[in-house]
A and B are shown apart, each in its own frame.
Chain A
Amino acid sequence: LAKTTQPISMDSYEGQEVNITCSHNNIATNDYITWYQQFPSQGPRFIIQGYKTKVTNEVASLFIPADRKSSTLSLPRVSLSDTAVYYCLVGDIAAGNKLTFGGGTRVLVKP
Chain B
Amino acid sequence: GAVVSQHPSRVICKSGTSVKIECRSLDFQATTMFWYRQFPKQSLMLMATSNEGSKATYEQGVEKDKFLINHASLTLSTLTVTSAHPEDSSFYICSAASAGGIIQETQYFGPGTRLLVL
Contacts and interface: CB of A to CB of B under 8 A. Distances in A.
Interface string A76-111: 000000000001010101111111111110000000
A61 interface: no
Interface in B76-116: 91, 93, 95, 97-100, 104-112, 114
A30 B43 CA distance: 25
Nearest to B40: A40
- How many residues of A sit at the interface, in one of the four size bands? 20 to 34
A42 B10 CA distance: 12
Interface string A45-73: 11001000000000000000000000000
A93 B104 contact: yes
A89 B105 CA distance: 12
Interface of A: 32, 34, 36, 41-46, 49, 87, 89, 91, 93-104
